Amino acid sequence: MHALENGVRAALVGAGQIARQHLACLRELPGVETVAVCDVSAATAQSAAERFSVPSWFTDHRSMLAEVSPDVVHVTTPPHVHYAVALDALDAGAHVVLEKPATETLAELETLLRRAGETGKLLVENQNYLFNRATREIAARIESGEFGAVIHVEVFICLGITAPGNPIADPNLPHATLRLAGGAIADFLTHLASLAHFFVGPHRTAHTIWAKRSPSPLPYDEFRALVDAERGTAVLGFSAATQPDAVWLRVYGERMQAVANLFETRLTFDRVRGGIKAMRPTLSLLEESRALRRAAFGTLWRKLSGGPGTYEGLWDLLARTYRAIEGGTEPPVPPSQVLAVNRLVAALKPDGSRA
């Protein structure tokens, strides 16, 4: 791999909601020019092009690949189309940034990774929560030794996807994610699996509970999993009934514990302290209250700043990906990680327990 001359030319297929985050980020990245957007809806493609000043738009991704020959293709279509579009993009000689979940099956992902290896191109899956500031700060404390070894991690996503008006539960039009094994919750397994893998390594076994507790078009609306991994254990969960919306991350180490809500900037630590033992809870709570006050204003600031907001991890991941493409270095989500995370995703699916 070598540095590309005259910057990097990016294109995007699938101009829906998450595509706006990709396009907004690409607009900010130095040395990157978005040259085309594609969507099966001409108006959707055209409006995305107009909004982000992209010079061309298409309704057929193969025509786009042939006409503009992009260096990088972002695949932000519904999940069941990822495989076909990503394969075409790799065959056209482009690097691929793939939205989660990468593919519907592990076999498809293995084919894509093999093809990427053969063509010498990158295939990067969006595992955005690994790049949120909170996750990186916890990782930094683990790396410094302050945290001690990580024993256990918990990730719990609370998202009201069955609420009236939510397109995922629209009874009139089955949402694209309902095609996935496990339904709409499967669309979030990459978040759970990537964080579990990041903190406790590749999984050995996974035991899951899939449940449906309220009437909706979703096959399941509650999910729990207990994962045994190489470096520790993980408890993962998704709840459509629990409110307010949140992505709770709790990391338990030998000398420190961390709690973050990745929808906000909330991040608190509790740690083993020297001195008078009885004072530890008081000192910890004072420290936590200071962190919470900072988070309250930080979250508001993040919202008003017009930046990526809760997608800060995606923006950071894309910036790192483009640096890797330009510099010919290791991508932020290497193939081995994409594969290991998706092996856990497969094990977490309703038919994959104890895989």
Partner 1 sequence: MKVLVTGANGFLGRHVVAALLRRGHEVRALVRPTARIECLGWSGVEVLRADLRSPGDLAGAFAGVDTLVHLAAVAIGGEDAQFSAAVVGTERLLEAMARSATRRIVLASSFSVYDWSKVRTELDESSPMVAAPELYQRDGYAIAKVWQERVARCLAERHGWELVVLRPGFIWGRERAYLAGLGQAVGRAHLTISPRTRLPLTHVENCADLFARVVDHPRAACETFNVVDGHDARTWHYLGDYVRGTGAGWLRIPVPYCLARGVVALADRISKLIFRGKGKLPGLLVPSCFEARFKPLRFSSLKIRQALDWQPPFTYAECRQRTYGWSARPCESKVAPAATRAATYVEAQ
Are 138 and 147 in contact, with CB atoms under 8 Å apart? yes
Identify the residue among 4, 33, 51, 212 touching partner 1 (CB under 8 A).
51
- Joined together, the tokens standing for residue 92 give 């056209």
* Closer of 6 and 17 to partner 1 (Cβ): 17
Binder to partner 1 among 31, 50, 146, 204 (CB under 8 A)? 50
Interacting residue with partner 1 among 6, 17, 274, 277 (CB under 8 A): 17
Please state the closest distance from residue 306 (CB atom) to partner 1, in A. Answer: 4
Least distance to partner 1 from the beta carbon of 284, Å?
34
Q: Which is nearer to partner 1, 54 or 90 (CB)?
A: 54
Question: Nearest Cα to 128, choosing from 328, 335, 320, 326?
Answer: 320
Which string of DSSP letters, residue by residue, matches 318-336?
HHHHHHHHHHT---SS-HH
Matching residue, tokens 């590749």: 202
Residues 6+ apart with CB under 8 A from 303: 309
Q: Categorise residue 148: left if φ over 0, alpha if ψ from -120 to 50, beta otherwise.
A: left
Question: Can you read off the two tokens belonging to residue 350?
Answer: 């309703």
The amino acid present at 333, given as its one-letter code, is V
Q: CB-wise, 168 or 341, nearer to partner 1?
A: 168
Q: Which residues contact 143 (CB under 8 A, 6 or more apart)?
A: none
Among 43, 140, 209, 279, binds partner 1 (CB under 8 A): 43
* CA atoms of 312 and 317, how far apart (whole Å): 9
21 binds partner 1 (CB under 8 A): no
Segment contacting partner 1 (CB under 8 A): 46-54, 113-121, 223-231, 344-352? 46-54
Any contact of residue 171 with partner 1 (CB under 8 A)?
yes
Residue with tokens 């709690």: 259
What whole-number distance in Å separates Cα of residue 19 and Cα of residue 131? 18
What are the beta bridge partners of residue 268? 259
Q: Which of 120, 244, 275, 305 binds partner 1 (CB under 8 A)?
A: 305
By the rule CB under 8 A, 307 interacts with partner 1: yes
Sole window of 35-43, 147-155, 220-228, 320-328 interacting with partner 1 (rule: CB under 8 A): 35-43
Specify the residue, 50 or 118, whose C-beta has the smaller distance to partner 1. 50
**Residue 20 CB partners (closer than 8 Å, separation 6+):** 48, 51
Nearer to partner 1, 145 or 165 (CB): 165
- Min separation Cβ 160 and partner 1, Å: 13
173 binds partner 1 (CB under 8 A): yes
In the block, residue with structure tokens 């076909």: 84
Residue 298 interacts with partner 1 (CB under 8 A): yes or no: no
Q: State the Cα–Cα distance between residues 129 and 246, nearest whole angstrom.
A: 13
179 sits near partner 1 (criterion: CB under 8 A): no
Residue 47 lies near partner 1 (rule: CB under 8 A):
yes
Tokens of 48: 């995305």
Choose among 43, 13, 12: nearest CA to 25. Answer: 12
Q: Is 30 in the site for partner 1 (CB under 8 A)?
A: no
Which residues face 72 on adjacent strands?
Answer: 10, 95
Residues in contact with partner 1, shown as a per-residue x/- string from 244 to 283 under the rule CB under 8 A: ----------------------------------------
CB of 243 to partner 1, least distance (A): 17
167 near partner 1, rule: CB under 8 A: yes
How many amino acids of this chain bind partner 1 (CB under 8 A)?
A: 19
Report how far residue 279's alpha carbon sits from residue 133's, in angstroms, rounded to the nearest whole number.
Answer: 30
Task: Decide if residue 165 touches partner 1 (CB under 8 A).
Answer: yes
Does residue 41 belong to the site contacting partner 1 (CB under 8 A)?
Answer: yes
Residues in contact with partner 1 by the rule CB under 8 A = 16-17, 41-44, 47, 50-51, 165, 167, 171-173, 303-307
